[in-house]
Structure formats: C-alpha cells, structure tokens
Amino acid sequence: MKRILIIATGGTIASTEDGSGLAPTMTGRELAQQVPLLDTLCELDFTQPMNIDSTNMRPRDWLRIAGIIRDAYDAYDGFVILHGTDTMAYTAAALSYLIRGSEKPIVLTGSQQPMANPFTDAKLNLYHSVLYACDPASRDVSVVFGGKVICGTRARKQRTMSFNAFTSMNYPSLAYLRGDKVVRAAGAIPAEKSGEAPRFYDSLNERVIVLKLTPELQPSIFELLRRDYDAIILETFGIGGIPDLGGSYQRAIFDWVDSGRTLVVTTQVPEEGLNLGVYEVGHAYAEKDGILKGDDMTTEALVAKTMWALGQTRSSAEVARLFYEPINHDRMPR
C-alpha cells in the first residue's frame, strides 16, 4: 500500500465560523476523517506546518513546504497539500521551481466551501487528490480541483464561488477524475519514469512585483519602485502594447533594465499570450537586453519563476537562461 503525506496549511477547506467570519481551525487529520473511503486508498500520514488563510501565504512559506517535502521525499510515494484557493496557483507554480523534476506526485487541493458545510466540495476534492497521488503514472506538481488535474504552472483561479474554480491556462488539463478512476487526457500520458532524484532549491528573491498597465499610468512609477524591487512583471495591453507618451515609457523601462534590474513583459489578457513583434507599440522592447518575454505563461508562474531565477543568480544572462527553460510545462518551448 502506498504512503502519502498530507501537508495541511489551512484555507477554506479547514475553516469554521467563529462569529467574525471563516477562519482555518481544522487539522489535516480531522479533515481526512470526514472523507469516506479515503483510508482505503493508501496509508496516510499528516503534518501541519501552518494553519492560515492562503491570503497570508508568503514565499517563505513556499520554502517551508518545499523543505518538508525534501526531508520526507524518500519516505513517501506522494504528497497532498491542503491549501486555500486564493493563492494556490502561486504556491503550485513556486513548488514547480523549488522541486524540479519530481517523479513522485505533489498535489495541491482545497475547496470553495469548508469541510463542515453540508454542500461542500471539500470531500470529493480531497478524495480525488489522494486518488491521483496514488496513481502510478502521476508525477510533478499539479492542482487537483473540481474533477480536473491541472499542471502546477498553468493553474489559475478563475471563479470565486463555483466549484470549478480553477482553469488550465494555455495548456490542456492533464487528467480528469471520474468516480474512482484517473482518466488521462489524450496526449498527456507521461513517459516512463527515469528514477532520477529531483532537484531541490532553497532560495527565492521576494523583491518582485506585478505592475498592470492602465490608461494614464505614469512611467514615473518605475522610479518609485526602484527602492523596494529588483524585478517587475509588466502586464501590457493586448498582445504586448506599451504606451508611447512621447518616448517616456521607453526611457523609463530602458533605465530600469540598464540599472541591472529585471523586467518581465506579459499581457493582462488571460489567454493566448504575448507577442511584442506584432505592433509598433511593443516592437521597441522585443530585443532589449534585460527584458524577458512571458509568452504564454500565467502571471502566477511568472512571479514564482522570476523569484526563483533571481534567487539562484544575479547574472542577467543566467537569469534569462533559467527563465526561458521550460519547467513543468510552464511555457511552450521557443
């Protein structure tokens, strides 16, 4: 029988009402006890590094979760992380970079309704997550939610209340859960496992911010961000449009990267990605050293990957190499 470690971190799935709103109080073991047949799938162990609303999840917590998996990796066949939905996509992406090439499944799940709610989705999500973690073909970091398996770098919370909260962005879902079966998507059958150990990382640069362009946002914002940030994820208009404003945006952006800081250009449009070469308003930035192109990656993955890359090196060339290397299907190969 397989051994799965459940890492409980809080979130809606563990929340109860205390008179001032929902707050996480239940432990991972208590949650598992509420799910019928869960103990028939495998042997379960539990650890509870935190019990927080995922709004309060921070990069230091990603490192803590990754460290738990590193220390327990040889003792278990897979890992299920119980997590709040609001920042689950960030954590799933971060773990994809902090634990590269895991041949054991690392599954994140949660729920839109607390376990104690009579109409909760928590029971099925937890059951499906353990079921998927026990499947011999499962590997790497993924989100299991609403009957779907989504690659950890492609997940995005798309709905605030519906049970199908998560969408796989610009990449197909890996599998579907139908009752007690894992149904792999066409073309998503993984190759044979190589037996190689994963690569664990323990450093991140948290000085990364997302800046969304809006009409009349002044380019002086780049100067204001210099003190606190080393990298900006710039969400442009459309397929890569950046305002001209008499050349002031170009000067501000070029000054930012010429100072040794990093700029990642993406689009605020959720689907289909970026192409700076299409319009004149983006073309000037297409080949500038220090400007990285997010292509079809999610903003959540871009934040995590930039923190990870800058945590490994300060060499702009090495940052670019790490950034453009496809990891856990986070981007289509160039």
Burial (CB count within 10 angstroms: exposed 0-12, middle 13-18, buried 19+), residue 259:
exposed
- Cα–Cα distance, 292 to 286 (Å, whole number): 9
Q: Per the residue annotation, which of 12, 27, 299, 306 is the catalytic one?
A: 12
Active-site residue identified among 9, 27, 85, 91: 85
Q: Which two tokens stand for residue 317?
A: 């060339």
Residues in the chain: 334
Residues 6 or more apart whose Cβ sits within 8 Å of residue 250: 242, 244, 284, 285
Task: Please say whether the beta carbons of 292 and 316 come within 8 A.
Answer: no
Spatial distance between the Cα atoms of 169 and 294, rounded to a whole number of angstroms: 13
Residues 274, 240: contact at Cβ < 8 Å? yes
For 298, counting Cβ atoms within 10 Å of its Cβ (0-12 exposed, 13-18 middle, 19+ buried), the class is buried
CB 26 within 8 A of CB 115: yes
Instruction: Please report, for residues 141, 192, 307, the alpha-carbon distance to residue 75 in angstroms, rounded to integers and kept in the order given.
Output: 18, 21, 29
**Whether residue 55 lies in the annotated active site:** no
Does the annotation mark 12 as catalytic? yes
Query: Looking at the annotation, which residues are catalytic?
Result: 12, 85
